[in-house]
């Protein structure tokens, strides 16, 4: 009678080991990075985000009051964004939250 119980226990143990192995060894989907659709835009967005994150509120207020005309590089970037609505959407979705938060913290927006 005891020998008959060993087989179901052995099968249950093997199935459990297989399930645990598959769970632990499969790639984690949360860590998978989507391919970069706009690598140049991503680099520009990162540069802008870093500028706002590393600037003091005083520096941002001074920059806002100076109102300098856009550089040739900035004009070229704006032209690219105007020509590609999907890239413009991706850019704004990327830079807007950190910029808006910094401006709010500095009292630049109510």
Retrieve residue 4's tokens. 């008959």
Residue 13 pLDDT level (bands cut at 50, 70, 90): low
Predicted pLDDT at 67:
81
Domain ranges of the chain: 48-105
Q: Inform me whether the pLDDT recorded for 82 exceeds 80.
A: yes
What pLDDT score does 22 carry?
54
The 3-state DSSP class for residue 61 equals helix
pTM of this structure: 0.62
Q: Cα(31)–Cα(58) distance, rounded to whole angstroms?
A: 38
**pLDDT > 90 in the chain, percent:** 40
């Amino acid at each position: 009678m005891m020998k008959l119980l060993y087989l179901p226990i052995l099968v249950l143990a093997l199935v459990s080991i297989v399930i645990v192995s598959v769970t632990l060894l499969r790639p984690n989907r949360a860590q998978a990075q989507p391919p970069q659709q706009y690598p140049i835009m991503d680099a520009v967005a990162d540069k802008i985000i870093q500028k706002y994150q590393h600037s003091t509120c005083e520096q941002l207020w001074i920059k806002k009051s100076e109102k300098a005309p856009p550089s040739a590089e900035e004009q070229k970037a704006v032209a690219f964004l105007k020509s590609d609505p999907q890239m413009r959407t991706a850019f704004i979705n990327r830079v807007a939250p950190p910029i808006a938060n910094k401006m709010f913290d500095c009292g630049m927006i109510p």
